[in-house]
Every structure is written in C-alpha cells, then in structure tokens.
Amino acid sequence: SGKVIEFTRSVYRGDAYDFVAELRLTGPGEEIRP
C-alpha cells in the first residue's frame, strides 16, 4: 500500500495539478486529450 500512496502523492502534486491548471485555462465545456 506504501507504493500506492507515493503514486497518489506524485499524481496529486504533478499531473493532477497540471490537469486542473489546463482545465482552468481552457474553460468549462472543453476537454484536453494528450
């Protein structure tokens, strides 16, 4: 379970933050796909 926690932390601090930032920049109703 320790690895899962570290993975969650890395996603929250990194990818999740960027994802939310991009959502705010594009505005509601738009989707960003890599």
The pLDDT tens digits of the residues spanning 1-34 come to 677 777 666 666 666 667 777 767 665 555 656 6
CA neighbours within 13 Å on the CB side: how many for 14? 6
- Residue 34: inside a domain: no
Q: What's the pLDDT at 27?
A: 59
Q: CB under 8 Å to 5, separation ≥6 — which residues?
A: none
Helices (H), 1-34: 2-13, 15-26
- Residue 33: inside a domain: no
- Residue 20: inside a domain: yes
Q: What's the pLDDT at 22?
A: 72
Q: What's the pLDDT at 28?
A: 57
Q: What's the pLDDT at 32?
A: 56
- Residue 32: inside a domain: no
Inter-residue contact 26 to 32 (CB < 8 Å):
yes
- Residue 31: inside a domain: no
Number of domains in the chain: 1
The domain in which residue 20 lies consists of: 1-25
Give the three-class secondary structure for 28: coil
- Residue 12: inside a domain: yes
